Structure 1
Amino acid sequence: MDIPSYKIALIVGAGEGLSASLARLFAREGIQVALAARKIEKLGALCHETGARAYACNAAEPDNVERLFGLVEREIGAPDLVVYNAGARARGAFIDLAPADVAQSIMVSAFGGFLVAQQAVKRMLPNNHGALLFTGASASVKGYSQSAPFAMGKFALRGLAQSLARELSPQGIHVAHFVIDGGIRSATRNEPPERPDSMLDPDAIAMSYWNVLRQPRSAWTWEMELRPWVERF
């Protein structure tokens, strides 16, 4: 069996938590890492730890995304592994939602995924090789009360991933969508003592991403749901 290998990873929507766990894992596996976020000041320690480079980018702006891929390609090389981890929320009673906030939520959660994927695929297709990973949420499959904008964006991102998997898998590009069904543990957010393991460990999520990336092409996963063992679904 041929196990895919990757040389350059780009994580869009980088920060602490899952993105940081992915960056550390990829670096340990010998993959060069690029990190993209609107504010890169917060990424200094992670870059120092992993040897990653940070790039400022608003994923919802076409010019920003095109510039990002151009810079990464010139300074590191064309990424053959791209993770879209960006998202935006607008919460509130439906009749009180501001249209501009709703539009922004959808732009970041879904349209940004399209922009990033399009730039990535342009560089992957000539080699018939690459991987696109999209981070979804409970809202990818369940529209919660007073959270319509987030559900709209995440439903759209899931649809994008499913469409791309059908189009691009036969061309050697592995597309996968991850439904993160539960809260992710962080330095500032932990589960209560009476509910141990009720939040997802970001390192454990990263390992699941890695397991999907290592799948032989004769048995690819296009979607994976992850949740704590005590989570109801």
Structure 2
Amino acid sequence: MTEAVGQNLARKRLAWIAGVGASAGLGAALARRFAREGLGVAVTGRSRDRLDAVVDEIRAAGGAAFTAPGDVTSESDLTAIARQLAGTGTLEAAIFNAAGATRAATLELSAEQFEAAWRVTTLGGFLFARAALPALLATGRGSLLFTGATASLRGRPPFAAFASAKAGLRSLTQSLAREFGPRNIHVAHVVVDGGIDGERLRTSSPQRVAERGPDGLLNPDEIADAYWHLHQQGRSAWSQEIDLRPFNESF
């Protein structure tokens, strides 16, 4: 983080978003949404070039943001970012959007692939929470939000690794909510039940995008609106879990 950026964000309300990639993706949409509400946004992911592009986009729109690259499976990376945030502003929202999207038939799924999905999705969520919670507790309030999926609720082939990891993340959020809700930290899990209309799906499955038709995929900006609503909920009526899906998605 440059000195100029640090001065711009000094004593500012902050949001930290892990799992930011392409501009046309959910992580970037979340960063734009929280920045639009006046929070300084720290964006974390493994590609500095992509993070820089998202930060430039936010700044061009008049928001405040900075790049905080790191690996969510690295405790030292997340601890260093949390330390950086502590000297930058007051953390009010922390969002974990990373996932290890392993896809393979069970007999073709290696132990290494299975573990990798768990490390990014479940262990990463735990490490992120542990890094963010001290700052949220110091603020005395805030939200800790996690991105889930259809696989959080039910498993099916060829997603054995992804489903088990997402189910683990969901259980983690329930534990965190019960422990830290009484301490004024709103922990919530968002089940994204359907395909997201972003770069990943449009690149990997253009046929699926065409088949779904208008509004048949989840719009990242509209998903981000739901996260902002969770962040704004009054504590007498907190949601621990919400689900989002297109109007024509079966469930």
Q: Measure how far apart 1:178 and its partner are.
A: 0.2
Write the distance in 1 (CA, Å) between the matches of 2:140 and 2:212: 49
Q: Secondary structure at the match of 1:7?
A: strand
Kindly indicate whether residue 219 of structure 2 is the aligned counterpart of residue 201 of structure 1: yes
d(CA) in 2 for partners of 1:198 and 1:154?
Answer: 23
Letter in 2 for 1:217: R
In structure 2, what is the equivalent of residue 28 of structure 1?
A: 36
Provide the residue aligned with 1:218 in structure 2. Answer: 236
Choose 133-142 or 185-194, whichever is displaced more. Answer: 185-194
Q: Which runs of 5+ in 1 are unaligned?
A: 1-5
Specify which of 44, 57, 64 is matched with residue 49 of structure 1.
Answer: 57
Alignment pair present for 1:159 and 2:165: no
Report what 2:110 is aligned to.
98
Looking at secondary structure, tell me which structure has more helix per residue: 2
**Once superposed, which parts of structure 1, at least 4 consecutive aligned residues long, lie more than 3 Å away?**
none
Q: Which residue of 1 aligns with 2:135?
A: 123
Deviates more, 1:117-126 or 1:174-183: 117-126
Q: Distance in 2 between matches of 1:36 and 1:95?
A: 34
2:14 and 2:90 in contact (8 A); partners too: yes
Q: How high is the TM-score relative to the length of structure 2?
A: 0.86
- Name the CA shift for 1:118/1:192 in 2 (closer, same or farther; >3 Å): same
Structure 2 spans left out of the alignment, 5+ residues? 1-11, 60-64
Letter paired with 1:140: S
Partner of 1:3: none
Give the alignment partner of residue 9 of structure 1, picking from 4, 10, 15: 15
Q: CA deviation at 1:132?
A: 0.3
- Provide the C-alpha distance between the structure 1 equivalents of 2:78 and 2:52, rounded to a whole number of angstroms: 21
How many Å apart are 1:21 and its aligned residue? 1.2
* C-alpha distance in structure 1 between counterparts of 2:28 and 2:212, whole Å: 27
Q: How far off is 1:193 after superposition?
A: 6.2
Aligned with residue 72 of structure 2, among 48, 53, 59: 59
Q: 1:22–1:194: structure 2 CA closer, same or farther, 3 Å change rule?
A: closer
Deviation, structure 1 residue 112: 0.5
Distance 2:190 2:13 in 1: 22
CA RMSD of aligned residues (A): 1.6
In 2 relative to 1, CA 47–66 (structure 1 residues): closer, same or farther, beyond 3 Å? same
The alignment's TM-score, normalised by the length of structure 1, stands at 0.92
**Equivalenced residues, count:** 227
| Match runs of 1:168-183 below 5 Å | 168-183=180-195
